[in-house]
Structure 1
Amino acid sequence: MSSITCVPTVPSSGNTAELRERARGALLGLAVGDALGAPAENMKPSEIRSRWGRITGYVTDTPAGTDDTEYAIFSGLLLARHGSALTPAHVEAAWHEWIADRDEGPFRGAGFSERGTLENLRRGLAAPISAQHRHAWSDGLAMRAAPFGVFAAGRPAEAARLAAIDGSVSHEGEGIYGGQAVAAGVAAAMAGAPTIAVVASALAVIPDDSWTARSLRRAVAVAHRGERAVRSAVVIGGYPWTDLAPEAVALAFGAYAAADGDFREAVLTAVNMGRDADTTAAVAGALSGATQGASAIPSEWASPIAPARGTCLPAMAGHHVLEVADLLVPGPEEMTP
């Protein structure tokens, strides 16, 4: 596995403001990427070009995040509640409290992995059995993994450990690896690691011979050639589902590497590649937002991001990603010099 010795240490207590700026960049970047990518979800690049040309900003009058943002808020609030003491039992209890057992009618969104998990939980199954469904390899954990990197800034292995605990309720195998890669990458970016070290940190926490690792390496290897090369390197042509974790995570890291961490370019590259564009742009936004901080996010993209509407998860209505970011960053008195 790749080395993560090149990841800088967490900013000292004198740099709490820097850490908070990166945390806000990561989660606001996730929400912005989600909102930018949502209209292009499940589309081919040719379809995007035919409809909008090249997407360079919001293409709807009321941009908003999808299940990606609301599940990231869910995981962030869960992590703020339990911190490093998080257990599968805590995660399972939160799924029941905030989603499965709420009397709000049928489940209103998200992907097949979340639907399968809820069906299992409502049948009385517990983790890890609750994760045994047909879409355990989806990018549903990857889309909500950024908060673990924010919390474990500068500690990619710890971020990956926590992401795997969260994912144990809903994912297995490649679905877990995808989430771990995202969490570790964000953790490295939170400490100011350069792009190459962010990618190395993601690869270091997953098996070298996994589908996710192979796809990620292929994407990054051709990133200098642009989005078409990245897409060609990892997309499974003809496969009907676009939420494959190995594919979506690789596209997101490929976009991030192609842009060398620049927020605007990373997110737009992900959006214009299509496929699961809300998730790939959300992950690229989290990585580049942690790298550059919230100030790098264009104001015309950041301003429309409002508190979650609860469209997918009614229990998350009213929570803002910036609120969650602040909850996950320790105050000066909690940081070691």
Structure 2
Amino acid sequence: MDLLEDKATGALAGAAVGDALGGAAEGNTPEAIQERYDGFITGIVPPFLADWRNARPIAPYHKGDGHITDDTLMTTALVDVYSTVRDHLDAHAIAEHLVPLMIGEKRWIPELETEAILLQRVFLAEKWLVARLHYGHIDPREAGVGNVVNCGATMYMAPIGIANAGSPDGAYAEAVDVAGAHQSSYGREAAGVYAACIAEAMRPGADVDSVIAVALRLAKDGTQDAIDAVVSAAAGRSEWRSSLAELRAAVSPFDTVGPNYRAPARDARIPSRTKAIEELPIALGMLVVADGDYRESVLGSINYGRDSDSIAVMAGSIAGALGGRAAVPQDWIDGVIEGSRIDITATGPTMAAVSRDIWEKDRARFEQRSAGLSSLLAPAGVL
């Protein structure tokens, strides 16, 4: 296993583990989580509600027991698209390849404990892709307009960062294009910034500081402000247990959902240039508090509650890319593979192989452009 494959596996397995561990806590406050589990969550736990089949509003999803959620299912589907196209993606690739996977191919869905099409598991914001692109025939570059603005597009953008490993600017541009089929406003912006963070974390020599610097350099509007506020609050703190309330307070002015996660504010999730999704700034804050340590970054994200699975996906993928596969605890990997009945280490090597193909195509494109530019710059009459 070379460094590219090691980091790609760390990123994607790290995301899946964070997803599976965080699913049980989703939608709850830190206090409720500690009451339910007799303290902080420290690993794989059973569902928050024992009667999960009849729980509302999340039924009938079996969250917990090492089950990955729609975050990982969508990430895996995007890897499959890359494996087919073997080149950079855009919004049209989502319409041409991802949507057919969502409605035309059965997959094992751990939370449903059965095989089903992906459409039957994803949230309404992801069902939007099918409604707009398959049935509405909307221009893919504009299809995200009108959707609820949330983290739905951001949560599965890690493969774009791997495809653009070492090029945060390239990852940002590609993710913003791809996410146009799914999201608008700060939901689309966060997708670009998250992919850029993964691309930077894939670079040999990258660290938490360089990832944060990339995020702040590329982020726009409320997304930049929210990241700045949260990482500033996280600076100087060395453990997440006493930092949960402070990080929540830092992101609160930019979060439209409000204090009650299960009862969003009336103006929640609408486009804005001053707001941001909550998940990415908090994930970056957890990375700062944990100094990039995978286990602590993910545990902080889980015990923060609210959209804990997606926060842990983002923190876990960046920490996994920084530290490689060995950074992700093997007992957690084994537990999620057993609980989900899916090999969460398989997508890393696939994405690494695709990245090599993309790099070769990028090199050929660059050489072709260089030859043309040399001709353009030659003195007149020399050609």
TM-score above 0.5: yes
CA contact (8 A) 2:103 2:117 kept: no
| Structure 1 pair 308–204 and aligned structure 2 pair: CA distance change class (3 A) | farther
Between 1:318-327 and 1:293-302, the stretch displaced more is 318-327
Structure 1 segment 94-109 matched on structure 2, within 5 A? 94-100=97-103, 107-109=119-121
Which residue does 2:76 correspond to in 1? 73
Q: In structure 1, which of residues 248, 254, 262 is the aligned counterpart of residue 293 of structure 2?
A: 262
| Structure 1 pair 332–217 and aligned structure 2 pair: CA distance change class (3 A) | closer
Q: Which amino acid aligns with 1:89?
A: H
Q: What is the CA-CA distance between 1:24 and the residue it aligns to?
A: 0.6
CA distance in 1, matches of 2:142, 2:72: 26
CA distance in 2, matches of 1:78, 1:189: 22
1:156 aligns with 2:177: no
| Structure 1 pair 277–183 and aligned structure 2 pair: CA distance change class (3 A) | same
CA distance in 2, matches of 1:59, 1:181: 31
Which residue does 1:248 correspond to in 2? 279
Q: What is the CA-CA distance between 1:228 and the residue it aligns to?
A: 2.5
Which residue does 2:231 correspond to in 1? 220
Q: Which amino acid aligns with 1:178?
A: A
Identity %: 28
Which residue does 1:139 correspond to in 2? 151
CA contact (8 A) 1:73 1:321 kept: no
Residues 192-237 of structure 1 deviation map (CA, whole Å, 9 limit, x = unaligned): 3111110111222222xx2211111111001133333112211343
| Structure 1 pair 296–116 and aligned structure 2 pair: CA distance change class (3 A) | same
Structure 1 segment 4-19 matched on structure 2, within 5 A? 17-19=2-4
Which residue does 2:40 correspond to in 1? 54
How many residues matched? 311
Give the TM-score normalised by structure 2.
0.74
CA distance in 2, matches of 1:133, 1:106: 22
What is the root-mean-square deviation in Å for CA atoms of aligned residues?
Answer: 2.8
Bigger Rg, structure 1 or 2: 2
Q: In structure 1, which of residues 230, 238, 243 is the aligned counterpart of residue 259 of structure 2?
A: 238
| Structure 1 pair 162–319 and aligned structure 2 pair: CA distance change class (3 A) | farther
Q: What is the CA-CA distance between 1:130 and the residue it aligns to?
A: 2.4
Which residue does 2:350 correspond to in 1? 327
Q: Which amino acid aligns with 2:35?
A: S
Consecutive unaligned residues of structure 1, counting only runs of 5 or more, are: 1-15, 310-317
Q: What is the CA-CA distance between 1:123 and the residue it aligns to?
A: 2.8
Consecutive unaligned residues of structure 2, counting only runs of 5 or more, are: 47-63, 107-115, 238-242, 270-275, 361-383
CA contact (8 A) 1:174 1:211 kept: yes
CA distance in 2, matches of 1:76, 1:308: 21
1:113 counterpart SS class? helix
Higher RCO (CA 8 Å, separation ≥ 6 residues) = 1
2:183 counterpart SS class? coil
Between 1:258-267 and 1:148-157, the stretch displaced more is 148-157
Give the TM-score normalised by structure 1.
0.84
Residues 147-176 of structure 1 deviation map (CA, whole Å, 9 limit, x = unaligned): 111121111111112212221111111111
Q: Which amino acid aligns with 2:29?
A: K
